[in-house]
């Protein structure tokens, strides 16, 4: 059988996406060379964006598989090289356009179709990160392009809950977010030097970090961006309001009245910053009795509805209770193992509720994009 042509091999390689940038390696100028022997042995040279790229094995595997499928191929060998600084700069311009020195946040551009949800809670431990991760996974499983910014300086548990890589790859001054379960994820935890305390990340530094996460990270086209905020009503809420005026808040609370009160306070900051609240999510709503049909109200009852009603009164617009998620040890285990429950056990009651909330949020129309805030944080 005749050996394949150069064009056929190129076409085969065009089906291989860079795992991080998620565009064909041929579009990204990552194919360095193609040599084909008369006997059909194909040697492909591939440029990695950076030396020691964590996804290199995936690139080798996918390229080998794509070329092997061609008729007449007897052997495939992939040889790796690394892009020069010049090549990386060209790639960066190709991906982001020549935007000049002032970096803009793509989600604020007039044409942006990305819905941005900032997930907030009054206090820690109510399941804000678990909810964020599972909503993202459910949306991604439905074919949406999803990203998460984990801005929770105290917890930054999102990478662990998704089983995402520890460190993002840098291409010049562009940051490639690790991808896990089809979700692009960036976390403060990926940038903290070892031993660095959370305190250092407060105030202006956190604001700068947030801007970097939004402007320097290559997100590509996203349908949904979820931000996992630190609990409470700290500086970051103001930063988000300023940096992402179109972000809508999602408030997570437990049914407990004490938790509901602090959640309401976290939500009412939206009144000052003129942000919309997409809704309230009650987590840990009950424990299904293992022996009967009853629901055991471990953390009390009614917190979610109370927060939704109170915020509706404060804001003067309807803030819905989007769902009530029961306690389920599998949800915690999934978080510990980096496998979201909505993917591993989609029919578990907690997963069903999370998937239903995800589809409600995916459906709702865009709201206040481009709204300008005449607001500046105090003392700056
Ligand atoms: P937060 O982000 O609000 O601090 P986490 O998402 O980290 O909260 O959740 C705190 C702990 O509670 C984690 O161990 C998580 O696995 C667990 N958890 C959260 N929601 C549930 C639930 N519905 N059922 C069981 N465990 C849960």
**Does ligand 1 have an atom closer than 6 angstroms to the CB of 124?**
yes
Q: Give me the phi and psi of 218, to 5 degrees please.
A: -85, 100
Q: Check pLDDT > 50 for residue 188.
A: yes
Boundaries of every domain in the chain: 6-96, 107-362
Residue 372: helix, strand or coil by DSSP?
coil
Give me the mean pLDDT over the 299-306 stretch. Answer: 94
Task: Kindly report, residue by residue over 75-110, the tens digit of the pLDDT.
Answer: 999 999 988 888 888 888 788 766 555 578 999 888
Distance CA 307, CA 312 (A): 8
Task: Kindly report, residue by residue over 244-268, the tens digit of the pLDDT.
Answer: 988 999 999 999 988 888 888 878 7
pLDDT for 369 = 36
Q: Check pLDDT > 90 for residue 279.
A: yes
Nearest to 189 by CA among 235, 226, 230: 230
Kindly give the distance from the C-alpha atom of residue 166 to the centroid of ligand 1, in angstroms, as a whole number. Answer: 21
Give me the mean pLDDT over the 350-367 stretch. Answer: 86
> Which listed CATH number (3.40.50.300, 3.90.75.20, 1.10.3720.10, 1.10.760.10) goes with 107-362?
3.40.50.300
Q: Check pLDDT > 60 for residue 120.
A: yes
Say what angle helices 56-68 and 6-13 make with each other, to 10 degrees.
130
Nearest to 285 by CA among 270, 305, 271, 299: 299
Q: Which two tokens stand for residue 181?
A: 């379960």
Q: Which two tokens stand for residue 309?
A: 């009603």
Measured from the Cα of 328, ligand 1's closest atom is 24
**Does ligand 1 have an atom closer than 6 angstroms to the CB of 327?**
yes
**Does ligand 1 have an atom closer than 6 angstroms to the CB of 283?**
yes
Closest residue by Cα to atom 26, ligand 1, is 332
Kindly give the distance from the C-alpha atom of residue 128 to the centroid of ligand 1, in angstroms, as a whole number. Answer: 7
The architecture that CATH gives domain 6-96 is 2-Layer Sandwich (3.30)
Nearest to 177 by CA among 193, 195, 158: 158
30: Cβ contacts below 8 Å, ≥ 6 apart: 18, 46, 47, 48, 49, 59, 83
Residues 249, 118: contact at Cβ < 8 Å?
yes
- Helix ranges restricted to H, the chain: 6-13, 56-68, 85-96, 128-141, 158-162, 204-215, 235-243, 257-273, 303-315, 329-337, 341-344, 349-363
Residues 58, 92: contact at Cβ < 8 Å?
no
State the average pLDDT for the chain. 87
Kindly give the distance from the C-alpha atom of residue 317 to the centroid of ligand 1, in angstroms, as a whole number. Answer: 29
pLDDT for 203 = 64
Measured from the Cα of 336, ligand 1's closest atom is 16
Mutate to test the pocket of ligand 1, among 119, 122, 130 (most ligand atoms within 8 A of CB): 130
- Ranking 23-27, 70-74, 141-145, 278-282 by mean pLDDT, the lowest is 23-27
Work out the burial of residue 23: count CB atoms within 10 Å of its CB; fewer than 13 is exposed, 13-18 middle, 19 or more buried.
Answer: middle
Give 366's pLDDT tier (boundaries 50, 70, 90): very low
Q: Check pLDDT > 50 for residue 243.
A: yes
Residues 71, 1: contact at Cβ < 8 Å?
yes
């Amino acid at each position: 059988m005749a050996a394949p042509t150069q064009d056929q091999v190129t076409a085969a390689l065009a089906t291989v996406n860079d795992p991080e940038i998620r565009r064909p390696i041929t579009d990204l100028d990552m194919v360095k060379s193609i040599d084909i022997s008369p006997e059909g042995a194909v040697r492909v040279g591939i440029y990695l964006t950076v030396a020691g790229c964590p996804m290199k094995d995936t690139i080798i595997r996918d390229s080998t598989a794509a070329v092997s499928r061609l008729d007449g191929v007897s052997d495939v060998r992939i040889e790796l090289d690394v892009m020069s600084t010049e090549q990386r700069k060209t790639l960066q311009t190709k991906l982001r356009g020549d935007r000049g020195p002032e970096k803009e946040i793509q989600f604020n551009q007039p044409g942006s179709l990305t819905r941005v949800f900032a997930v907030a809670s009054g206090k820690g431990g109510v399941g804000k990160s678990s909810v964020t991760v599972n909503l993202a996974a459910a949306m991604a499983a439905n074919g949406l392009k999803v990203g998460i910014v984990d801005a929770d300086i105290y917890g930054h548990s999102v990478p662990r809950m998704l089983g995402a890589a520890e460190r993002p790859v840098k291409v010049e001054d562009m940051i490639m977010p690790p991808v896990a379960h089809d979700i692009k994820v960036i976390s403060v935890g990926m940038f903290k030097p070892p031993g660095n305390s959370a305190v250092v990340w407060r105030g202006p530094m956190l604001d700068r970090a947030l801007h970097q996460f939004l402007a320097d990270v290559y997100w590509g086209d996203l349908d949904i961006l979820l931000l996992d905020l630190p609990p409470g009503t700290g500086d970051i809420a103001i930063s988000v309001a300023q940096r992402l005026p179109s972000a809508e808040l999602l408030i997570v609370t437990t049914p407990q009245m004490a938790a509901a009160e602090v959640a309401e306070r976290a939500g009412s900051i939206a009144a000052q910053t003129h942000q919309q609240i997409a809704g309230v999510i009650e987590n840990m709503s009950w424990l299904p009795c293992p022996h009967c049909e009853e629901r055991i109200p471990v953390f009390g009852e009614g917190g979610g509805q109370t927060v939704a009603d109170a915020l509706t009164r404060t804001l003067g617009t309807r803030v819905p209770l989007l769902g009530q998620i029961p306690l389920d040890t599998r949800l915690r285990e999934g978080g510990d193992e980096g496998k979201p429950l909505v993917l591993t056990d989609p029919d578990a009651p907690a997963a069903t509720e999370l998937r239903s909330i995800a589809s409600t949020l995916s459906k709702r129309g865009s709201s206040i994009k481009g709204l300008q805030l005449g607001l500046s944080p105090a003392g700056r």
